[in-house]
Structure 1
């Protein structure tokens, strides 16, 4: 689906520095200084229109959250949600996830969320998948010791690929569900895509994996 261009998006992002982090490299290694309270930091890569990250921040005021999204025309919708919610423990970043090490130092992040990432189904695009080994290495560099990745998708092929990628990298499987919405799992917060796909009868896959102790 083609994104509708919003030429005004960049200017709007600049208008709300209390919610959108500009020049994030300046906060590398000291993210707690940017939030109202010093507490664990969770990030969502590919935050889309922001439903998940804002609802997680609302439900867990003792955790700081950052939603990361590359597309300006998408992240402005997340900004609208955040402005309305007025949450002190949630920020947004308009950056490329492949460059996270520029913005986060080792141990800055406690958990990474990957929700309904682009599956990049063609083999030649494997390296673009957010669960490819090079991305797993980036996450490892910024996470605390034994940090976690929580992953959700409706794409069975991507889920199977990701489980293999996690296993080959040496991550520990803490939770795996092949049908999340019929698993009895409590506390699930849906993304916009999740609600749309599940309403069509699509099965939702979810797993939690942890890096081994260093």
Structure 2
């Protein structure tokens, strides 16, 4: 996506929906009008997943985490257009999740089509590496779910091993989501694209 020099100005002008400057660090509940269960998506893509979830589940608060300010513009536009009061967005590096959220504050984590970082030397950047799993465990309430989808077989296999080694319990494994697609599945923009190319979609739901 092309760099937009005005991106930060745009996001800051929509600060009722987007936290660019860590204003709600350690107090995310104050960012919402209602105190409800809290789900977060780490890496929002273009925002179709989180906005659809929020429309379908008005009794849950959603936080979209995204590091790319240009991508965040697209997500913000969707949230603003839909007037979603139960979605808030945070411009944040996923490595800093525990600097932003409190322990045992989150009810569910979604990881959708994360960057696979295919080179071995970049393994620690994968969002299912043990370093990230440690953060999710801290911020999640007991027995809460991490839900992960990818079209990348290498990342899927890495994630299975990483989660298993960490001691997570697999609640659901699906090696081809679209073969018998659950009614609850919400397709992301990337999911539609990769599926049309004939890629299988892998899905993991696991708890600590």
TM-score range, shorter chain: over 0.9
Q: Distance in 2 between the 1:40 and 1:24 partners?
A: 21
Q: TM-score, normalised by structure 2?
A: 0.97
Q: Does 1:147 align with 2:141?
A: no
Checking the alignment, whether the CA contact within 8 Å between 1:43 and 1:112 is kept in structure 2 is yes
Q: What secondary structure does 2:17 align onto? A: coil
Q: Residue 11 of structure 1 aligns with which residue?
A: 9
Which structure 1 segments of 5+ residues have no match?
A: none
Which structure 2 residues correspond to residues 32-111 of structure 1 after superposition, within 5 A? 32-111=29-108
Q: Distance in 2 between the 1:19 and 1:31 partners?
A: 12
Report the aligned-residue RMSD: 1.1
Q: Distance in 2 between the 1:182 and 1:190 partners?
A: 14
Give runs of ≥4 in structure 1 deviating > 3 Å: 22-27
Q: Does 1:168 align with 2:165?
A: yes
Q: Distance in 2 between the 1:63 and 1:34 partners?
A: 13
Q: TM-score, normalised by structure 1?
A: 0.94
Which structure 2 segments of 5+ residues have no match?
A: none
Q: Summarize deviations over 1:36-61 as a string: whole Å, max 9, x none.
A: 21111000011021111111101111
The number of equivalent residue pairs is 208
1:33 deviates by: 2.6
1:27 deviates by: 4.2
